[in-house]
A and B are shown apart, each in its own frame.
Chain A
């Protein structure tokens, strides 16, 4: 019983994050609304960030800023990587939003199936 609790407590973070990732992935594939696709993409990315930060976590430790009276610090490297990844993610999102604005201007809709339908009609 003890070990099951340990397993759940030790891995709960991972599982919750995996659930986040899957919600994001489902939204990216299944939703037709382009804005929602991007939001889900962002959820997916955030899930990955959380995963990394969880990997860098350490029990009974403190933030990796060296100070008097502390000897145990969290792993700084995943945090550094995620700082970069967050900025990269937002740059991508910004381009995505700009594309949505242009798509809306060109088609008058931001639903993918509606847009594809318009293209189809035009070709015929």
Chain B
């Protein structure tokens, strides 16, 4: 029972955070709220029995992501958002997609259902044979590193790509001052 209550309360907190991130105009404060938001998400992951995901979300979402956002704010030095307008088409679209999702969700097996196909499928094999076949008691690790190790290689490639892209965008290139001035003119004159 405790987990259900925790689940609902945390979700409500999360919704409050999301709404306030949407509406707050002070960007620095938004970054703080964003950190809180992912902290709550991580706690929620834990309540939903996913400690590894909670671990990652806490490190990556709360830590890196928030710090990156703060760093962006610190570099740009912009702290206020302009007053936003209500966007009717977007509102309409969201209602539509949300309605569609709610309709689909009624067909989904309820939370924690034993009979859901997801639990009967591949996952069952992982839980029953995982330790025997890979020798790792943490099934998530076993699947991540062995059964679906190629995804993890892809993940590494994604990080690498992201790093290369950020370097390409921000790396401080050795440029003599005169060249830099020329570059600036080139960038702004078109």
Direct contact of A and B (CB under 8 A): yes
Number of chain B residues whose Cβ lies closer than 8 Å to a Cβ of chain A: 96
B56: chain A residues within 8 A (beta carbon): 83, 86-87
Per the bound structure, the CA–CA distance linking A51 and B137 in Å amounts to 25
Chain A residue at minimum C-beta to C-beta distance from B82: A111
Q: Contacting A80 at CB < 8 Å: which of B68, B72, B143, B159?
A: B143
- Give Cα distance in the complex from A99 to B71, angstroms: 13
Mostly, the B contact residues are helix
Q: Are the C-beta atoms of B14 and A20 separated by less than 8 Å? A: yes
Chain B residues near A84 (CB, 8 Å)? 144, 151-152, 154-155
Give the dominant DSSP class at A's interface. Answer: helix
| B119 contacts the other chain (CB 8 A) | yes
B36 at the interface (CB under 8 A from A): no
Whether B112 contacts A58 by the Cβ 8 Å rule is yes
> In the complex, are the beta carbons of A46 and B41 less than 8 A apart?
yes
Candidates A50, A64, A98; contact of B41 at CB < 8 Å: A50
Closest residue on chain A to residue B73 by CB atoms = A35
Nearest chain A CB to B130 CB, angstrom units: 8
Residue of A nearest to B34 (CB): A39
B102 near A64 (CB under 8 angstroms)? no
Tell me the count of chain A residues lying within 8 A, CB to CB, of chain B: 84
A116 within 8 A of B: no
Beta-carbon nearest neighbor of A59 in chain B = B112
* A24–B188 alpha-carbon span in the complex (Å): 33
Task: Tell whether, in the assembled complex, residue B51 and residue A56 are in contact, meaning their CB atoms are under 8 Å apart.
Answer: no
Nearest residue, chain B, Cβ from A60: B112
- List residues of chain B with CB within 8 A of the CB of A95: 162, 165-166, 169
B97 contacts the other chain (CB 8 A): yes
> A54's closest neighbor in chain B, by CB?
B111
| Contact of A23 (CB < 8 Å), options: B22, B68, B93, B151 | B22
> Complex: how many Å from CA A122 to CA B166?
28
Given contacts A13-B11, A73-B127, contact A64 B49 (CB under 8 A): yes
Are B90 and A30 within 8 A (Cβ)? Answer: yes
**B22-A86 in contact (CB<8A):** no
The interface bits of chain A over 56-91 (1 if a CB of B lies within 8 angstroms of the residue's CB, else 0) are: 111101111111000001111111111110111011
Chain B contacts of A49 at CB under 8 A? 41, 45, 53, 57
- A residues engaging B (CB < 8 A)? 6-7, 9-27, 29-33, 35-36, 38-40, 42-43, 46, 49-50, 53-59, 61-67, 73-84, 86-88, 90-95, 97-102, 104, 106, 109-111, 114, 122
